Amino acid sequence: MPTTLKTPGVYIDEINAFPGSAVAVETAVPVFIGYTETAVRNGKSLVGKPTRITSFAEYTETFGGAFLSKFEIIDATDPQAKGTFTLNNTKKIVSIKSRNTSYFYNCIRLFYANGGGTCYILSVKEYGATPDGFDIKQSDFTDVFDALEKEFEPTLIVIPDLIALGKDIYNDTYGKVLAHCAKMKSRMGIFDLRRQTLTDTTDAVVDEFRFSIGTNYLNYGTAYYPWLKTSIVQPDEVNFLNLDSSVDLETLLPSATEAAAISIVKKLKADQLADSTPASPPDSPASPPTGKKLDKAAITNYHNSLRTASPTYTHLLEEIRSILNELPPAAAMAGVYTLVDNSRGVWKAPANVSLSMVNEPSINISSLAQENLNVDVMAGKSINVIRPFPGIGTLVWGARTLDGNSQDWKYINVRRTLIMIEQSLKLATRAYVFEPNDAGTWVTVKSMFNNFLSNLWKQGALAGAVPEQAFDVQIGLGATMTPNDILDGIMKITVKVAVVRPAEFILITFQQQQQLS
């Protein structure tokens, strides 16, 4: 309405009847940090820049495909080790070459297979076409947290590739993740433990992690164990190109027949090489044709002929695929968080949920063995276990943060629910910065908080038979503020919430009762 009325007439003044509203922020938006094939959009480099994507198709369009890992065939030091096979009366084993380890691409696939949605990709470096492999370095992750501080939306941090360096990352990089999350107060880190070797024990791997991770900001992190045997990498994604040049296929595959060789030669003569004139066709199917680049049809034909002619070749590819399919669990858990948040809510513990595209955990941990992982008497550094259950599948069987002895922050869903409430109310309150610090503003803000928390209580996020038992909001002179606070321009609001906690232990008591006549 005009501030002064001078002209006769009718004036309309619309008054807002309702207070401002608070909207819940997104709760499951992970940022994946690691190495990608490319990192270009619209001709501009995305290296070091957190980039929002909404699907796996968008990832491949912007960040490319998987790294082509090369494998060697070496003498087996342990004849009883899994994956050994006999060749010319000698025990052999398939081993990935140094500088050829890359988990990032397949972990993104595992994330989407388990319910993932919107996420951020922070590429620290492009590996591109690197036939000799690439080095994973902690120094590549030094400045990533400065870039993440400028992004509000991410709520989870996952670094799949870094676990290839083993225990060296626990105190350094994982410690930086925890410090960053505590500074931002809007996200958590999901951590992997290193892969257990043949000479390791579970206790040794876990104790190593607990000793190295430190004691700072533990409620902003959670860890999962063991690694997962997945089916992400399909049989048609592995072929002779995954074998190192040192592998002599002609000697390795003596069972190849002349008929198969002739078939391959005929097919390869009909195929064109993508960027060069094909060299002379091989004399046997054991030696791939030379040339700068084979097109996909030639690769497929050669691969299928070898697989038909030689059981040894098929066995080698299955061993390679099993190695590529063993992945750290953090990315899968990021997908589970998204799935649970969308179906039940962030206040539901992300546990007792089956994992998709997972055949089994790499280690079968019993209920008795899990006791020391779930409860750490000394420092509370709980490790959440992923376990197989007969007839049910592979389930997430733990829901604790690394601060497992804290009554406040023991459970993941409590930590994440508080993050959601804090950030939602923080954003909603920005509208009242520089508003008069008086009773009118206090009533409006309190009503906004009450409405938001009441809706959460109705959805089951807060415990209590009535709203008064679920939350309490206090604001005002004499309640939360002193006259000096008002003179200093400070408006204090106190919020208490009763967040629901999971029934981690269900105890059923049975007792015999005497028969009554």
DSSP string, 395-438: EEE--B-S-TT-TTT-BHHHHHHHHHHHHHHHHHHGGGTTS--S
Q: How confident is the model at residue 2 (pLDDT cuts 50, 70, 90)?
A: low
Residues 121 and 256 in one domain: no
Residue 245 pLDDT: 81
Q: How far apart are CA 111 and CA 114, in angstroms?
A: 5
Residues 334 and 479 in one domain: no
Residues 371 and 347 in one domain: yes
The residue type at 319: E
What is the SS3 assignment for 393? strand
Residue 68 pLDDT: 92
Look at the pTM and tell me if it is higher than 0.75: yes
Q: How far apart are CA 264 and CA 256, in angstroms?
A: 11
Lowest-confidence pick of 3-12, 286-295, 453-462: 286-295
**Sheet bearing 90-96, strands edge to edge:** 71-75, 90-96, 85-87
Question: Does residue 94 lie within any of the structural domains?
Answer: no
Q: Which of the listed residues 301, 322, 343 is the one where a domain comes to its end?
A: 322
Asked whether the predicted pLDDT for residue 183 surpasses 60, the reply is yes
Contacts of 86 (CB under 8 A, 6+ apart): 92
Nearest partner of 303 among 335, 334, 272, 268, judged by Cα: 268
Residues 463 and 511 in one domain: yes
Per the structure block, which two tokens stand in for 457?
A: 């209580």
The position carrying tokens 């209590």 is 464
Q: How confident is the model at residue 18 (pLDDT cuts 50, 70, 90)?
A: confident
Question: Does residue 118 lie within any of the structural domains?
Answer: yes
Domain count, the chain: 3
Per the structure block, which two tokens stand in for 479?
A: 């309640």
Asked whether the predicted pLDDT for residue 256 surpasses 50, the reply is no
Q: Which domain holds residue 482?
A: 438-517
Q: How many helices (H) and strands (E) does the chain have?
A: 16, 18
CB 481 within 8 A of CB 441: no
- Report the pLDDT averaged over residues 326-352: 97
- Report the pLDDT averaged over residues 77-103: 79
Q: How does DSSP classify residue 208?
A: H
Asked whether the predicted pLDDT for residue 219 surpasses 90, the reply is yes
Greater confidence (382 vs 313) lies with 382
Residue 288 pLDDT: 59
Q: How confident is the model at residue 276 (pLDDT cuts 50, 70, 90)?
A: very low
CB 200 within 8 A of CB 166: no
Asked whether the predicted pLDDT for residue 283 surpasses 80, the reply is no
pLDDT tens string 300-327: 777 787 787 777 888 889 999 999 999 9
Q: Are strands 85-87 and 51-53 parallel, antiparallel or unpaired?
A: unpaired
β-strand partners of 395: 354, 387
- Report the pLDDT averaged over residues 468-496: 95
- CB count within 10 Å of CB 180 equals 19
- Report the pLDDT averaged over residues 142-161: 94
> Apex CA 187: angle with CA 420 and CA 33, to 5°?
145
Q: How confident is the model at residue 261 (pLDDT cuts 50, 70, 90)?
A: very low
Lowest-confidence pick of 129-133, 252-256, 344-348: 252-256
Question: Does residue 175 lie within any of the structural domains?
Answer: yes
Question: Does residue 10 lie within any of the structural domains?
Answer: no
Greater confidence (76 vs 227) lies with 227
pLDDT tens string 44-66: 999 999 999 999 999 999 999 99
Q: How confident is the model at residue 86 (pLDDT cuts 50, 70, 90)?
A: confident
Residue 15 pLDDT: 82
β-strand partners of 360: 229
Nearest partner of 340 among 354, 360, 330, judged by Cα: 354
What is the SS3 assignment for 148? helix
Q: Are strands 119-126 and 30-36 parallel, antiparallel or unpaired?
A: parallel
Q: How far apart are CA 369 and CA 396, in angstroms?
A: 15
pLDDT tens string 195-206: 988 788 999 999
Residues 367 and 481 in one domain: no
Lowest-confidence pick of 32-41, 77-86, 360-369: 77-86
Q: How confident is the model at residue 25 (pLDDT cuts 50, 70, 90)?
A: very high
Per the structure block, which two tokens stand in for 427?
A: 């954003």
Q: How far apart are CA 377 and CA 484, in angstroms?
A: 45
Question: Does residue 83 lie within any of the structural domains?
Answer: no
Residues 218 and 337 in one domain: yes
Question: Does residue 59 lie within any of the structural domains?
Answer: yes
Residue 129 pLDDT: 75
Residue 286 pLDDT: 52
Half-sphere exposure of 266 (CA within 13 A, CB side): 7
Q: Is the C-alpha dihedral spanning 199, 205, 208, 211 positive or negative?
A: negative
Q: How far apart are CA 95 and CA 71, in angstroms?
A: 6
Residues 56 and 176 in one domain: yes
Contacts of 232 (CB under 8 A, 6+ apart): 106, 109, 110, 113, 325, 327, 357
User: Omega before 226 cis (within 30°)?
Assistant: yes
Residue 255 pLDDT: 58
Q: How confident is the model at residue 100 (pLDDT cuts 50, 70, 90)?
A: very high
Asked whether the predicted pLDDT for residue 433 surpasses 80, the reply is yes
Asked whether the predicted pLDDT for residue 267 surpasses 70, the reply is no
Q: How far apart are CA 202 and CA 136, in angstroms?
A: 25
Q: How far apart are CA 119 and CA 192, in angstroms?
A: 19
| Residue 18: C-alpha distances to residues 21, 255, 426, 433, 458 (Å) | 9, 81, 19, 19, 20
β-strand partners of 72: 95
- Report the pLDDT averaged over residues 289-301: 65
CATH code of the domain covering residue 61: 3.40.50.11780
Counting residues of the chain whose pLDDT is more than 90, the rounded percentage is: 70
Per the structure block, which two tokens stand in for 144?
A: 């990533």
Residues 34 and 138 in one domain: yes
Residues 138 and 59 in one domain: yes
Residues 130 and 228 in one domain: yes
Output the average pLDDT for the chain. 88
Question: Does residue 425 lie within any of the structural domains?
Answer: no
Counting residues of the chain whose pLDDT is more than 70, the rounded percentage is: 89
Asked whether the predicted pLDDT for residue 19 surpasses 90, the reply is no
Q: Which of the listed residues 322, 345, 376 is the one where a domain comes to its end?
A: 322
Asked whether the predicted pLDDT for residue 299 surpasses 80, the reply is no
Residues 127 and 167 in one domain: yes
Nearest partner of 278 among 268, 287, 286, judged by Cα: 268
- Report the pLDDT averaged over residues 402-407: 94
Per the structure block, which two tokens stand in for 15?
A: 């008054």
Q: How far apart are CA 55 and CA 41, in angstroms?
A: 15
- Report the pLDDT averaged over residues 71-93: 76
DSSP string, 7-23: S-S--------S-----
Nearest partner of 425 among 186, 178, 226, judged by Cα: 186
- Report the pLDDT averaged over residues 14-35: 89
